[in-house]
Chains A and B, each alone.
Chain A
Amino acid sequence: MAGDTADDTADETAHDAADEPVQGSPSPGADAASREREAPRAAPSSSEGPGSGSPEGPDAPRLTRASRTLLFLTVLIIATSGLVYELLAGTVASYVLGDSVTQFSTTIGTYLFAMGIGSFLSRFVKRGVARRFLEVELAAALVGGLSAPLLFVGFAQAEAFAVLLYGTIVVIGTLVGLEIPLLMRILKEELAFEELVARVLTVDYIGALLGSVLFAIVFVPTLGITRTSLLFGMLNALVALLGTTALAPLLTRGDVLRVRVLAALLLVLLGGTFAQADRLTSWTEQSLYDEPIVFAEQSAYQRLVVTRGGPVTSLFLDGNLQFSSVDEHRYHEALVHPAMAAAPRRARVLVLGGGDGLALRELFRWPEVEHVTLVDLDPAVTRVARRLFADLNAHSLEDPRVELVHDDAMVWLDERQRAAPASGDALPYDVAIVDFPDPNNFSLGKLYTRRFYRLLRTALADDATVAIQSTSPLFARRSYWCITETVREAGYAVRPYHATVPSFGEWGYVLASPRPFDAPSALPPPLPAAELRYLSDALLPTLFVFPPDMGPLEVETNHLNDQALVRYYDAEERQWAN
Chain B
Amino acid sequence: MLRLLLGAPFAAKLLACEGAPPPQPPEGALLGPDHRLGHRLREPPPREAWRDAPTRRVPVAIVGGGPAGLSAGWRLLRRGERDFRLFELEPALGGTSRSGESALTRYPWGAHYLPVPPTSNVDLRGLLVEMGAFHRSEPAERLLVREPESRVFYRGFWYPGLYPWAGASEEDLAQLARFEARVAAQVEAFQIPSARSARDPAHLALDRLSAAQWLDEGGFTSPRLRWLARYACRDDYGLELEETSAWAFVFYWAARAARPEQALEGSEVLTWPEGNGAIVEHLAGVIGDRVETGRAVVHVHETPEGVQLLLLRADGETRERVVADHAILAVPRFVAARLAPELGLELDGYEVGAWAVANLHLRGRPPGRGAPPAWDNVLYDSPALGYVTATHQRGRDFGPTVWTWYLPFTDADAEAGRRRLFEAEHADLADAVLADLRRPHPELDEHVERVDVWRWGHAMVQPRVGFLRDGARFEDGRPRGHVHLAHSDLSGLALFEEAFFHGVRAADEVWDIRRGAVFQIGEGAADEAGEEATGGAAEATEPAAEPATEDATEASGATTGAEEPA
Interface, chain A (partner B; CB < 8 A): 300-301, 377, 408, 410-411, 414, 417-418, 421, 441-443, 445-446, 449-451, 454-455, 457-458, 491, 559-563, 566
Residues of A close to B142: CB separation below 8 A: 451, 560
Chain B 544-555 per-residue mask, 1 if CB under 8 angstroms from chain A, else 0: 000001110001
Taking A411-B394, A559-B144, A566-B147 as known contacts, 9 extra A-B pairs with beta carbons closer than 8 A to each other, sorted by chain A number, are A300-B398, A301-B398, A408-B396, A408-B397, A411-B396, A450-B141, A457-B549, A561-B144, A563-B147
Once the chains bind, are B394 and A414 in contact (CB under 8 Å)? yes
Residues of A close to B364: CB separation below 8 A: 300
Given contacts A300-B364, A417-B551, contact A561 B395 (CB under 8 A): no
Q: Specify which of A301, A408, A491, A561 is in contact with B146 (CB 8 Å cutoff).
A: A561
Chain B 268-297 per-residue mask, 1 if CB under 8 angstroms from chain A, else 0: 100000000000000000000000000000
Once the chains bind, are B144 and A560 in contact (CB under 8 Å)? yes
Once the chains bind, are A446 and B551 in contact (CB under 8 Å)? no
Alpha-carbon separation in the docked complex, A450 to B142 (Å): 10
Interface, chain B (partner A; CB < 8 A): 141-142, 144-149, 268, 364, 372, 394-399, 549-551, 555, 558-559
Alpha-carbon separation in the docked complex, A377 to B395 (Å): 12
Residues of A close to B395: CB separation below 8 A: 408, 410-411, 414, 446
Once the chains bind, are B550 and A421 in contact (CB under 8 Å)? no
**Most A CB within 10 A of own CB, among B141, B364, B559:** B141
Given contacts A561-B147, A562-B147, contact A418 B558 (CB under 8 A): yes
**Min C-beta distance of A206 to chain B, whole Å:** 49
Alpha-carbon separation in the docked complex, A572 to B191 (Å): 41
Q: List 10 A-B contacts (CB under 8 A).
A: A421-B559, A442-B147, A442-B372, A443-B397, A445-B147, A446-B395, A561-B146, A562-B147, A563-B146, A563-B147
**Most A CB within 10 A of own CB, among B146, B268, B396, B558:** B146
Residues of B close to A450: CB separation below 8 A: 141
Once the chains bind, are B555 and A421 in contact (CB under 8 Å)? yes
Residues of A close to B398: CB separation below 8 A: 300-301, 377, 408, 443
Alpha-carbon separation in the docked complex, A566 to B148 (Å): 11
Chain B, interface SS category:
loop
Alpha-carbon separation in the docked complex, A410 to B148 (Å): 17
Alpha-carbon separation in the docked complex, A106 to B424 (Å): 68
Once the chains bind, are A560 and B147 in contact (CB under 8 Å)? yes
Once the chains bind, are A491 and B549 in contact (CB under 8 Å)? yes
- Output the nearest chain A residue to B149 by Cβ-Cβ distance: A561
Once the chains bind, are B551 and A455 in contact (CB under 8 Å)? yes
**Min C-beta distance of B566 to chain A, whole Å:** 17
- Output the nearest chain B residue to A407 by Cβ-Cβ distance: B396
Once the chains bind, are A449 and B555 in contact (CB under 8 Å)? no
- Output the nearest chain B residue to A491 by Cβ-Cβ distance: B549
Once the chains bind, are B394 and A442 in contact (CB under 8 Å)? no
Alpha-carbon separation in the docked complex, A450 to B549 (Å): 11
Alpha-carbon separation in the docked complex, A563 to B399 (Å): 22
Once the chains bind, are B144 and A458 in contact (CB under 8 Å)? no
Alpha-carbon separation in the docked complex, A454 to B146 (Å): 16
Residues of A close to B145: CB separation below 8 A: 561
Q: Specify which of A441, A442, A458, A559 is in contact with B141 (CB 8 Å cutoff).
A: A559
Once the chains bind, are A458 and B551 in contact (CB under 8 Å)? yes
- Output the nearest chain B residue to A377 by Cβ-Cβ distance: B398
Residues of B close to A421: CB separation below 8 A: 555, 559
**Min C-beta distance of B102 to chain A, whole Å:** 15
Alpha-carbon separation in the docked complex, A560 to B142 (Å): 7
Once the chains bind, are B372 and A441 in contact (CB under 8 Å)? yes
Which 9 A-B pairs have CB atoms at the shortest separation, nearest pair first?
A561-B144, A410-B395, A563-B147, A451-B141, A443-B397, A560-B146, A411-B396, A446-B395, A560-B141
- Output the nearest chain A residue to B559 by Cβ-Cβ distance: A421
Once the chains bind, are B372 and A561 in contact (CB under 8 Å)? no
Alpha-carbon separation in the docked complex, A458 to B144 (Å): 20
Residues of B close to A458: CB separation below 8 A: 551
Alpha-carbon separation in the docked complex, A150 to B549 (Å): 54
Alpha-carbon separation in the docked complex, A559 to B146 (Å): 8
**Min C-beta distance of A406 to chain B, whole Å:** 10
Q: Specify which of A300, A414, A561 is in contact with B268 (CB 8 Å cutoff).
A: A561
Alpha-carbon separation in the docked complex, A449 to B144 (Å): 13
Residues of A close to B144: CB separation below 8 A: 559-561
Residues of B close to A377: CB separation below 8 A: 398
Alpha-carbon separation in the docked complex, A442 to B558 (Å): 26
Residues of A close to B397: CB separation below 8 A: 408, 443
**Min C-beta distance of A517 to chain B, whole Å:** 19
**Min C-beta distance of A17 to chain B, whole Å:** 60
**Min C-beta distance of B533 to chain A, whole Å:** 32
**Min C-beta distance of B500 to chain A, whole Å:** 23
Q: Specify which of B146, B399, B559 is in contact with A446 (CB 8 Å cutoff).
A: B146
Alpha-carbon separation in the docked complex, A450 to B140 (Å): 11
Residues of A close to B268: CB separation below 8 A: 561
**Min C-beta distance of A487 to chain B, whole Å:** 14
Once the chains bind, are A417 and B555 in contact (CB under 8 Å)? yes
- Output the nearest chain B residue to A441 by Cβ-Cβ distance: B372
Alpha-carbon separation in the docked complex, A443 to B146 (Å): 10
Residues of B close to A562: CB separation below 8 A: 147
- Output the nearest chain A residue to B270 by Cβ-Cβ distance: A561
Once the chains bind, are B148 and A561 in contact (CB under 8 Å)? no
- Output the nearest chain B residue to A411 by Cβ-Cβ distance: B396
